[in-house]
Amino acid sequence: MTIFNQILEQIKAYDTIIIHRHQNPDTDALGSQLGLREILRTNFPDKSIYAVGFDEPSLSWMAKMDQVEDAAYTDALVIVTDTANTPRIDDSRYTSGNYLIKIDHHPDEDPYGDLLHVDTTASSASEIITDFARGTCLNLSTEAARLLYAGIVGDTGRFLYSATTSKTFQMAAYLREFDFDFAGLGRQLDSFPYKIAKLQGYVFDNLEVSPEGAARIVLTQEILKTYEVTEAESSAIVSAPGKIDSVQSWAIFVEKPDGTYRVRLRSKIQPISPIAKRHDGGGHPLASGANSFSLQENEEIFQELRDNLAE
């Protein structure tokens, strides 16, 4: 029995299914989570299917989360998508169900759950969910196709990142057969508020680039307040430094209210995930996240980026 059929067997066995994803969601986290919710609601209308977690305002155009009482987890199946490790799972009640399934495309360094499907060759969790639906002959609604397509496009950087494969295009082509507003979705994914445009201008004006091609920018609480941007909204500028031809790897340090920093690490060629792992983080070879607990650690991370390129 294939892993997809094993997952389907568990889905069929439960009347209540609750789907989680990671904190600070991006389009793939929501696309895979909400796309799976729509697939299951379409194919199993008699089951209670929920998606839980924080409603990220900047992605409210995708869909809304469900409000679920604690009692719903009794004898429930819990599925977590697009989340590499347990500390990042949004809503700690994921442990309260009867059975837990992990579906992800990040390196499997935290193999949690009773049943796991981790495909690191997939561009996104949304690609995996699409493949799951096709492989098990489940019906897709137009809404599910829209959500999954948004997830794939978002996590591949509009098919520009190296994780994009021929299979990615196959899954995207399949989803494109459904009659959702393709052009409107593209515009939504490619647009951002004026305040983000102004913040992006600040990034370009203040970006520090080393001789090796390592770049960094620090977004303090003061800067975030000046531009009226939240920590989550600042993710919209994560790709901006990479548009500069001399920049090969970069770090965006976003100060949290407690004075620590969320660190977004990106690279064009040289893997940076080992650096993230050394600083309370992880992720993909060229797209990772970390945490810094002081200005000194910020300096250490940037120096490691420089040394990584020098090598």
Q: Give a three-class secondary structure readout of 164-214.
A: CCHHHHHHHHHHHCCCCCHHHHHHHHHCCCHHHHHHHHHHHHHCEECCCCE
Among 156, 190, 224, where does a domain finish?
190
Mean pLDDT of the chain: 95
Q: What is the pLDDT of residues 38-70, one digit of tens each?
A: 999 999 999 999 999 999 888 899 989 999 999
Listed in order, strand segments (DSSP E) in 213-255 are: 214-219, 249-255
Does 259 share its domain with 243?
yes
Note the pLDDT tens digit of each residue in 67-80. 999 999 999 999 99
Do 183 and 34 belong together in one domain? yes
Q: Where are the alpha helices (DSSP H) in 207-294?
A: 221-226, 273-278
Q: Of 41, 43, 50, 46, which is closest to residue 71 (Cα–Cα)?
A: 50
Q: What is the pTM of this model?
A: 0.88
Confidence of residue 190 (pLDDT cuts 50, 70, 90): confident
Residue 111 shares a structural domain with residue 172: yes
CA distances for 248 relative to 125, 181, 217, 245, 270, angstroms: 26, 35, 14, 8, 8
Looking at the structure, tell me whether residues 46 and 83 fall in a common domain.
yes
pLDDT given for residue 151 in this prediction = 97
Q: Among residues of the chain, what percentage have pLDDT more than 90?
A: 85
Residue 100 and residue 160 share a domain = yes
> Can you give the residue range of the structural domain that contains 261?
194-310
* 230/225 Cα distance (integer angstroms): 8
200 & 179 share domain = no
DSSP letter, residue 61: T
For residues 248 and 163, state if they share a domain: no
Both 176 and 198 in one domain: the answer is no
How many distinct structural domains can be found in the chain?
2
Q: Say what the pLDDT of residue 14 is.
A: 98
> Tell me, what CATH number does 121's domain have?
3.90.1640.10
| Rounded Cα gap, residues 50 and 210, in angstroms | 47
Q: For the stretch 219-251, what's the b/e string if a residue is b when 16 or more beta carbons lie within 10 angstroms of its beta carbon?
A: beeebbeebebeebbbbbbbbbbbeeeebbbbb
Looking at the structure, tell me whether residues 91 and 35 fall in a common domain: yes
- Decide if pLDDT at 282 tops 90: no
Cα–Cα distance measured from residue 134 to residue 295, given in angstroms and rounded to the nearest whole number: 48
What are φ and ψ of residue 263, in 5° steps? -115, 120
Average pLDDT over residues 169-188: 94
151 and 296: one domain?
no
Average pLDDT (296-303) is: 97
